Amino acid sequence: MSQSTASSRVSILLALCAIVVASLSAMYSWSSRVVESEVSDVAPQAVRAETTSEAQPDLGSLALNTEQTQTIERDQQRATIRLPVAIPPADIETLEAEAKFMAERLLQDMPEEPIAVHVSAMLNAKLHNTELAIEQWKKCIEMSPRTEQYYVNLASVALDRGQSELAIETLMQAQTMGLYSPDIAHHLGLAHMNAGNNQEALEILEGAAKEEGQSGALWFLVGQVKLRAGDSAGAEEALRRAVDLGVKTRQVYFNLFSACMRNGNREDAAEFRTLYESFKPKKRIEPSMRFEASTTADARSLIAFIAAEAAMLYDRRGSVRDTEHLLLRSLALSPVDLNVLSNLADFLSAQQRFADERIVRERIVSLNSQQLLDYLLLAKAEVACGNPEAAEAAIKLAIALGPTSPTSYIAMAEFLVEQKRAPEAEWYARRVVELDRSPEAYRLLARVHRLQGDEAAAQSAEAEISQMQERE
């Protein structure tokens, strides 16, 4: 690793840790103000703006005295939620009825919100009301013409209905709005293929595949259209590339079998035929039925999606009870969904419900224990609840799980410095230097030495920086 690369990496890590520790300090300052003024009703928007402000808060001590901790825990930090551990049983009809009710209520409350219309369109598509879904996505496009998802969803449903021209028209409209992505190219190329426009399809798909480089799905379609156009050699090349990029499906192996047979490559053709036949044939589903919610799992996923989208809109409007209810309902249907858990934790943090937030952060850590930021956010919630020891424990666990990464050691050193525990911070700062000898690592060590009054040691660390710069 070069010195400049190491310096840049540790600079980023130090910046991350400084931001989180500053947030911890700001949170402690808020907790103290609550104890002194007994102010509890703060608008969610104001809290969110405060916690995400770019202004650097004062870095004060994180230590909480016993009296303050007891007051915070008694008056502010009693948990009011519990998290589900198992998915409740339900039949498809009940779940679909709930989904309809949820989507209709959202649309009734917020008819001017394109996301509310989009949610209703998704529901109708899943329930096979595709004509209504198309009309709703057209309305979404009118309301928010620069949202790519609406064009792609409309085109996808149109393709399943056999309306290739509508799909082409919709996606070309997206392009006139300056929207372009591999997803748009994929669907536009497929629409031209279905319409019999092989040359147009090939130009779009091959151009997108070359530009994207690593999209196996695009190379698969390129292979299909070339096979259809009689270019079996080009088809074989494209299809092999799709397989190399991870597309290993029954259809790709069948197409490779066909291409190799046409190219006289019977040995490889036999191999691909074996691979093709190893897949159990799936029951054919009519294109118009692909969006139908046919299983309980599909119905649960549909409700979870609607609840999550609705929660975001209600949160934006400041409707606390609706937001909490919808996030908890979404989580009940998918107890290990990290996105829902993160959204719930962020919502609770914005509401200053730190004991509840702590419960959710602990669940996140248990499901995604390799992410340092999850531990730091848990530490933040612990400090807000008056538990700096638990915050320290969270960072120690991160170190134990990733002992060769300097990131966690930096976090702990910064944490202890902010608590005015420089002698303990020195041990972690030295581990950072051992793991990543860079100027930023030595600057951290020098700072810790100075906090202990050891100027000679601080200057020795800074001398290492000078030597590095001279070698560069």
Mean pLDDT of all residues in 252-277: 95
pLDDT over 70 at 69, yes or no: no
pLDDT over 90 at 455, yes or no: yes
pLDDT at residue 361 in the model = 97
pLDDT at residue 169 in the model = 98
Overall pTM surpassing 0.85 (yes/no): no
pLDDT at residue 14 in the model = 52
pLDDT over 80 at 316, yes or no: yes
- Which has more pLDDT, 140 or 69? 140
Residue extents of the structural domains in the chain? 92-289
CA–CA gap between residue 368 and residue 383 (Å, rounded): 21
Stretch among 138-142, 223-227, 333-337, 371-375 having the lowest mean pLDDT: 371-375
pLDDT tens profile 133-186: 999 999 999 999 999 999 999 999 999 999 999 999 999 999 999 999 999 999
pLDDT at residue 281 in the model = 65
pLDDT tens profile 429-447: 999 999 999 999 999 999 9
Q: What size, in residues, is the chain?
A: 472
- Which has more pLDDT, 460 or 44? 460
3-class secondary structure for the chain?
CCHHHHHHHHHHHHHHHHHHHHHHHHHHHHHHHHHHHCCCCCCHHHHHHHHCCCCCCCCCCCCCCHHHHHHHHHHCCCCCCCCCCCCCCCCHHHHHHHHHHHHHHHHHHCCCCHHHHHHHHHHHHHCCCHHHHHHHHHHHHHHCCCCHHHHHHHHHHHHHCCCHHHHHHHHHHHHHCCCCCHHHHHHHHHHHHHCCCHHHHHHHHHHHHHHHCCCHHHHHHHHHHHHHCCCHHHHHHHHHHHHHCCCCCHHHHHHHHHHHHHCCCHHHHHHHHHHHHCCCCCCCCCHHHCCCCCCHHHHHHHHHHHHHHHHHHHHHCCCHHHHHHHHHHHHHHCCCCHHHHHHHHHHHHHCCCHHHHHHHHHHHHHHCCCCHHHHHHHHHHHHHCCCHHHHHHHHHHHHHHCCCCHHHHHHHHHHHHHCCCHHHHHHHHHHHHHHCCCHHHHHHHHHHHHHCCCHHHHHHHHHHHHHHHHHC
CATH code of 92-289, in short, is 1.25.40.10
- pLDDT band, very low/low/confident/very high, at 290 (cuts 50, 70, 90): very low
